[in-house]
Amino acid sequence: MFFTKSNRFNLIYLFMATFILISFVSRTVLLTYSFSHVSLTLLDLFKIYGIGLFYDFVAVSYYVVPFVIYLILVPNRVFNASWHRKLTIVIFFGFIFSLVFNGFSEWFFWEEFGKRFNFIAVDYLIYTTEVINNILESYPIPLLITIVLLLTIALFAFYVKKTMVLHTTFSDEKGFIARLKEGGLLLLIPLLFFYLLDQQNLTSVSTNKFNAELSKNGLYSLLSAFRNNSLDYDDFYKSKEIDTVLKDLRKLQTTKKITFTSDDIKDITRHYSAAGEEKHYNVMLVMIESMSASYMDTYGSKQNLTPEMDKIVKKSLFFKKLYATGTRTVRGMEAVTLSIPPTPGRSIVKRPHNHDLSSVGFVFQEKGYDNKFIYGGHGYFDNMNEFFSHNGFNIVDHNNFTADEITFDNVWGVCDGDLFNKSLKEADNSFAQNRPFFNFIMTTSNHRPYTFPKEHMSQPQLEGRDSGVNYTDYAIKKFLDDAAKRPWFDTTLFIFVADHNGGSSGAVDLPLFRYLIPAFVYAPKILQPQVVDKLSSQIDLMPTVMSIMGWDFKGKFYGNNILADDFIQRAFIGNYQKLGYYQDNRLTILSPDESVKSLEVEKLELKDVRYKQIPDNQADIDNAITYYQSANYLYKNNLTRHVKGQ
């Protein structure tokens, strides 16, 4: 028998033990699932479970705070009353249910992202409508809830039969002072953790990222994400004196045809000059959800998932080594629209004070273009409508689709086929007004739950992500076929680029293969097919497109013209905390504990990468600091704002 001594806090102690037990089981299940990626030496296992146990205790100490406060305050005559006992048992049962449910949730999150709860989970808690509907459409929820309920009942029945906790909990006669002493200690523990604990220092003991993630606790990671969703570069990363950084930026960013317009080092406005006649081609920019390079036969895949895009690429200006800046859609939008390296924390698209930035939207707007952000879902998600509507674009989202324009709809919005049909109509409207147009089109079908009309796919038997890729491939082919019948087709650039890769996990920090994405410009009457084999970044895409059109323009952009003979090959990749600078087969990683890691790429394949740590390359480190620190400083100090007529 346990808990033989009368104490109202016994229920808390039992709950804490249950929390740690379920966390242990969850960690073991996730380790087994990722067995082939995890380092399994005896020391590694000790770190995974030892550090994991510590964070489990930290997490549960936070979790029980409200109930502890309640137990301190409620008087004995109320606490020991029959009705209160029944209510408390129900609440305790609910707590157990929530722990089991969380274990299942962590499994599905790990399956999707290969990580514990993080910023993505924070977003999911904010955008509940889309997320809940996505879950309902993706998983057998009634069955899962039934399993969770049965496990909870079994665990609760064990407690009733094998312990005296329910009896001893409700026979407590402690006075307020005694309750305050015991409960106060339980409250002091999380308070100390909150002010003293730095999770990064403990969970970074392994270079294997799966090991590091397994040593975390999901709920604690979620709380940490809430607490640290914005990271100030100067407080967390290796930095230099800002004037030095801004002067170094000028050295890196001055090219033959791109020069700074002012001697003020805090003004990064650059003049992009071009020779010849300025063209006003229409632009249809399609940002493809989660389109990894590894899905395309063009990059070496043998799955034949994208037969149509593989054909289109051969007729296009193809940027074969272009890398995404991040692992979320909003990062891709930020990079293409603002032409800026990723800054730590959440994307600028989702931050406050992101209006009237130096955006390509304003450049096109000032050239007389009709700009539209076209999205098949509800653009309030991820703050997209707010961002685009205040940075040079009009909004066309789900609310602008009529009933007859929707043939298929799920939680994320209309299928890609319907989205493209709407985009063609919007282009027709702009053309009818005799205005060149720039349509930024964001697809969604290649996203869980991967539901869409399958009758026209080349491989309708496919399931999951593969089916999403294959359907999008079909929809893009039909989109171009339909566009070819329009009078504006011959004078239009069709730009296709992924927002990010189809996955973000890996056994190492910033796995390069997870950032390689397709990017190509299709315009058979304007551009000759060409494969551009230069290492480049999403931030370079639009400066390159505007240079193709011979534009003379100004902007506070970091991107350069990839086609220029003096283009400096480099790529910026990152997640919410790690910032990577990739150049000359070396990857420099800046971390939020002010550490720097210099790596050489020994092997880089479609689904694998191997790094070798090398002595610090000071030039790479200086460049990485220059780009990332300056980008953070300029945005934070409102120095990346758009100035009309720059």
For the stretch 613-626, pLDDT in tens is 999 999 999 999 99
| Chain-centroid distance, C-alpha 3 | 46
- Residue 166 is predicted with a pLDDT of 65
The SS3 assignment for 136 reads helix
Tell me the pLDDT band of 513, cut-offs 50, 70 and 90.
very high
**φ and ψ of 291, to 5 deg:** -90, 90
- CA distances from residue 508 to 39, 422, 445, 605 in whole angstroms, order as listed: 12, 41, 29, 14
Across the range 66-94, mean pLDDT stands at 88
Residue 255 φ/ψ, nearest 5 degrees: -125, -175
- Single out the residue of 149, 9, 37, 172 nearest to residue 93, CA to CA: 149
Amino acid at 381: F
635 contacts 348 by C-beta, under 8 angstroms = yes
Q: What is the per-residue pLDDT for 172?
A: 67
**3-state class of 532 per DSSP?**
strand
Q: Which candidate, 402, 399, 498, 492, places its Cα nearest to that of 439?
A: 492
Give strand pairing partners of 374: 396, 441
Q: How many helices (H) and strands (E) are present in the chain, helices listed first?
A: 23, 18
Residue-wise pLDDT tens digits, 559-610:
999 999 999 999 999 987 889 999 999 999 998 878 999 999 999 988 889 9
Q: Is the pLDDT of residue 230 over 70?
A: no
Give domain 277-570's CATH architecture: 3-Layer(aba) Sandwich (3.40)
String of DSSP letters for 369-394: -EEEEEESS-TTGGGHHHHHHTTT-E
CB atoms within 10 A of CB 621: 17
Instruction: Please confirm whether the linkage preceding 449 is cis (ω < 30° from 0).
Output: yes
Give DSSP secondary structure letters for 437-478.
Answer: EEEEEE--SSSTT--S--TT-S-TT--HHHHHHHHHHHHHHH
Asked if 71 and 180 touch (Cβ cutoff 8 Å), the reply is no
- What SS3 state is found at 288? strand
Specify the pLDDT at position 488.
98
Residues 6+ apart with CB under 8 A from 640: 268, 338, 340, 357, 358, 556, 634
Cβ atoms of residues 517 and 291 within 8 Å: yes
User: Distance (Å, rounded) from C-alpha 508 to C-alpha 270?
Assistant: 36
For residue 229, is pLDDT > 60?
Answer: no
Element spanning 629, H or E = helix 618-636
Residue written as tokens 């990857």?
Answer: 587
Taking the model in full, what pTM does it have? Answer: 0.77
Residue 12 to residue 14: CA distance in whole angstroms: 5
- Residue 224's SS3 state is helix
Q: What is the mean pLDDT of residues 222-226?
A: 71
Interior CA angle at 303 toward 301 and 304, to 5°?
Answer: 95
Tell me the pLDDT tens digit for each residue of 448-486. Answer: 888 889 887 888 899 888 999 999 999 999 999 999 999
Residues ≥6 apart with Cβ < 8 Å to 417: 407, 408, 452, 453, 475, 478, 479
Residue among 601, 613, 588, 600 at smallest CA distance from 237? 588
Q: Which residues of 241-264 are buried (b: 16+ CB within 10 A; e: fewer)?
A: ebeebbebbbebbebeebebeeee
Confidence of residue 25 (pLDDT cuts 50, 70, 90): very high
The vertex-621 CA angle with 618 and 625, nearest 5°, equals 140
Residue 199 has pLDDT above 50, yes or no: no
pLDDT above 70 (res 506): no
Which of these, 463, 374, 451, lies nearest to 420 by C-alpha position? 374
Could you read off the pLDDT of 334-370 as tens digits, one per residue?
A: 999 999 999 988 889 988 889 999 999 999 999 999 9
Bridge partners, 372 (sequence order): 394, 439
Residue spans of the domains in the chain: they are 10-227, 277-570
State yes or no: pLDDT of 85 exceeds 70: yes
- Helical axes 218-227 vs 42-63, angle rounded to 10°: 60
**Buried/exposed 560-588: b ≥16 CB within 10 Å, e otherwise:** bbbbbeebeebbbbbbbbbbbbbbeebbb
Predicted confidence at residue 1, as pLDDT, reads: 45
DSSP 567: P
Q: List pLDDT tens digits, range 380-424.
A: 998 999 999 999 999 999 999 999 999 999 989 999 999 999 999
